[in-house]
Amino acid sequence: MPNTLDHSYVQKSSWKPNLFAGKVVFITGGAGSICRVQAEALVLLGANAAIIGRNVEKTEAAAKEIASLRPGAKVIGIGAVDVRKIQSLKEAVDKTVQELGRIDYVIAGAAGNFLSDFNHLSSNAFKSVIDIDLLGSFNTIKVTFDQLRKNKGSVIFVSATLHYYGVPMQTHVGAAKAGVDALCNALAVELGPLGIRLNCIAPGAIAGTEGMSRLAPPGGEPLEKKIPLQRQGTTTDIADATVYLFSPAASYVTGDVLVVDGGMWQVGGLMGDFYPNIIIHQNEDPEGKL
């Protein structure tokens, strides 16, 4: 699998080995390209992990591969979990605590995305993304709350920059991620007195990920030219942001959104060269979806 980490991450990174020794992270969407590398970084730095996903085979295989990164690591894969169904998630939490003893960190990373203009975006498709991204994030914190309170834990929501400005073809995801940011803000205030920190990471164009393979517009100028830092991001960039937010270095950081996109959203994001032609082309078919 491309863009995964190995032992060199510990040797080359700025982070102290065994930074997360004795800690346990619970990750929804943990077999996906971004969340998997978040898990790898935490395990390489001493944590144990529960990888949560819908696909049983993919989730269990990812857990075994991540566990192999560090001698003695305990990583369990729990498949057949739908974040829209809170009982499904609760059972995953119970299994995690039973097998790993505790939960200190939570990454709410389960998400759905695809390109669709408004006219061809059905109400059901819109609802599905809202349910997975926003309701799924709420459910994830709801079922891990007791452990987070007990262990004065920390949460990272995987957000996006799509709601910072109008992004065509992403109505559903922009609305969902705006909700995720608002959820993070409110919970950071409400749960802060209990010792729980909650933050968001908003990735930009991360090379080699499932998201980029689906969402990158075809043709045109090389994407790197549109990014102020003149390169696409890497999953290691997201891993480092994750380590920072869970580490003691961020002990006074909560309710924040850490954008990791090389400055891309500041200059119009992915769709600038294709607007408005892409919308006109999509709507040449007048029949929409309900």
pLDDT > 70? residue 236: yes
Kindly report which listed range (48-52, 183-187, 254-258, 286-290) carries the lowest average pLDDT score.
286-290
Q: Residue 2: inside a domain, yes or no?
A: no
Whether 159 sits among the annotated catalytic residues: the reply is yes
222 pLDDT band (50/70/90 cuts)? confident
The percentage of residues in the chain with a pLDDT greater than 70, rounded to a whole number, is 88
CATH at 210: 3.40.50.720
Structural domain includes residue 45? yes
Give burial (CB, 10 Å; 0-12/13-18/19+) of 255.
middle
* 3 state SS of 157: strand
Say whether pLDDT at 164 is over 90: yes
Cis amide bond preceding 276, omega within 30: yes
Higher pLDDT, 20 or 215: 20
- Asked if the structure places residue 251 within a domain, the reply is yes
Domain containing 15 equals: 8-282
- Which backbone phi and psi does 202 adopt, to 5 degrees? -115, 95
Distance (Å, whole) CA 198 – CA 59: 25
What is the total count of domains within the chain? 1
Identify the residue with better confidence: 286 or 234: 234
Nearest to 34 by CA among 160, 132, 120: 160
Given a cut of 50, is residue 141 above it in pLDDT?
yes
pLDDT at 283 over 80: no
Evaluate whether residue 79 is within a structural domain. yes
Please tell me the predicted confidence (pLDDT) of residue 1. Answer: 46
Query: Are 18 and 224 contacting, i.e. CB atoms less than 8 angstroms apart?
Result: no
* Residue 168 belongs to a domain: yes
Residue 288 lies in a domain: no
How far is it, in rounded angstroms, from Cα 224 to Cα 96?
40
For residue 185, what pLDDT is reported? 98
Q: Specify the length of the chain in residues.
A: 290
Active-site position among 23, 154, 177, 226: 177
Mean residue pLDDT of the chain comes to: 91
Task: Respond yes or no: is residue 8 known to be catalytic.
Answer: no
Q: Could you tell me the pTM of the whole model?
A: 0.91
Report H helices in 68-170. 86-100, 123-130, 136-151
3 is a domain residue: no
Residue 195 lies in a domain: yes
* Closest listed residue to residue 272, CA positions, set 223, 208, 231: 223
Q: Which of 159, 213, 225, 251 is catalytic?
A: 159
Q: How much of the chain, in percent, has pLDDT values that exceed 90?
A: 74
pLDDT in tens, 36-90: 999 999 999 999 999 999 999 999 999 999 999 999 999 999 999 999 999 999 9
